Amino acid sequence: MSQDLNQARPYAIAIFELASEQKSLTAWLDTISILAFIATNPSVISLANNPRSPKEKLFNLFKNTLKKNTESVVLEQALRLLNFLIIKRRLQLLPSIYAALDNLRCKKENLKKGSVISAKPLSEKQQEKLENVLVKRLKAKVFLDYAVDPNLLGGMILRFGNDVIDSSLQNKLQRLANSF
């Protein structure tokens, strides 16, 4: 995973610079996400890893899906990137390229992506309140992913990248238990 990210970073930077020049970042992100989705399919992985399978077959598989779903601005360059990745046998990097590209976009747009896990589903009002607090605190746009985990018993866990704010009852009880 970490090694993939190291290898993927230069590709992501190249795509990001290209997309910024063309003002087609969203289109590129969509394209890479489609490519990453296909590349993580088990049968595609086995095809990509099989040295006997012709590279054209693999290329065409991606190409057909891309043609249907991609805006024409980026199609030609996306196909070139794809060809390049197939020749270099680096298709497995696509999910990491997507992650790195998304990171670059978030940095540019001053957007922070995080997740909230709560014991009970949060009402829209609560979600709005939480987001408002976070926007003020982080001085950035905030995008939150909501999930529910009844095991927390109460409270919630807020996660931005590696940073975690844990106010769940489960964690508090655990800390109390450890203190004895």
Partner 1 sequence: MPFNPSEISAIIKQQIEQFPLPAETRNEGTIVSLKDGIATIYGLSNTLLGEMLQFDTKTYGIALNLERDTVGSVILGDFGHLSEGMTVKSTGRVLETPIGHELLGRIVNPLGTPLDGKGLINSKKTAPVEKVAPGVIWRQSVDTPLQTGLKVIDTIVPIGRGQRELIIGDRQTGKTAIIIDTIINQKKSGVKCIYVAIGQKNSSIAALVRKLEEHDAMKHTIIVNASASDSAASQYIAPYAGCSMGEYFRDIGENALIIFDDLTKHAWAYRQISLLLRRPPGREAYPGDIFYLHSRLLERAAHVSAEYVSTQTEGKVKDRTGSLTALPIVETQAGDITAFIPTNIISITDGQIFLETDLFNSGVRPAVNIGLSVSRVGGAAQTSIIKKLSGGLRLALAQFRDLEAFSQFASDLDETTRKQLEHGQRSLEILKQPQYAPLTVSEMVITLVIIEKKIFADLPVEKVLEFANSAIKFMHDNHQEILDEIDAKPVYSAELVDKIEKELVKFKETGFVV
The number of residues in the chain equals 180
Identify each DSSP E strand in the chain by its residue range. Answer: 111-118, 141-148, 156-160, 163-166
- From 7, 73, 166, 170, residue interacting with partner 1 (rule: CB under 8 A): 166
Binding string, residues 1-40; x marks residues near partner 1 by CB under 8 A: xx--xx----------------------------------
- Which segment (30-38, 136-144, 145-153, 164-172) binds partner 1 by CB under 8 A? 164-172
Asked if residue 151 binds partner 1 (CB under 8 A), the reply is no
Handedness of CA 86, 87, 89, 90 (dihedral sign): negative
- CA dist 116 and 159 (Å) reads 6
Asked if residue 179 binds partner 1 (CB under 8 A), the reply is yes
CB of 100 to partner 1, least distance (A): 10
Asked if residue 106 binds partner 1 (CB under 8 A), the reply is no
- CA dist 166 and 116 (Å) reads 10
- Which segment (17-25, 47-55, 60-68, 169-177) binds partner 1 by CB under 8 A? 169-177
Burial of 91 (0-12, 13-18, 19+ CB in 10 A): buried
CB of 116 to partner 1, least distance (A): 13
- CA dist 38 and 47 (Å) reads 12
- CA-only gyration radius of the chain, Å: 21
Asked if residue 129 binds partner 1 (CB under 8 A), the reply is no
Q: Decide if 65 contacts 38 (C-beta within 8 A).
A: yes
Asked if residue 162 binds partner 1 (CB under 8 A), the reply is yes
- Side chain identity at residue 157, one-letter code: I
- From 45, 87, 138, 164, residue interacting with partner 1 (rule: CB under 8 A): 164
- From 49, 60, 110, 167, residue interacting with partner 1 (rule: CB under 8 A): 167
Which residues bind to partner 1, rule: CB under 8 A? 1-2, 5-6, 155, 159, 161-167, 171-172, 175-176, 178-180
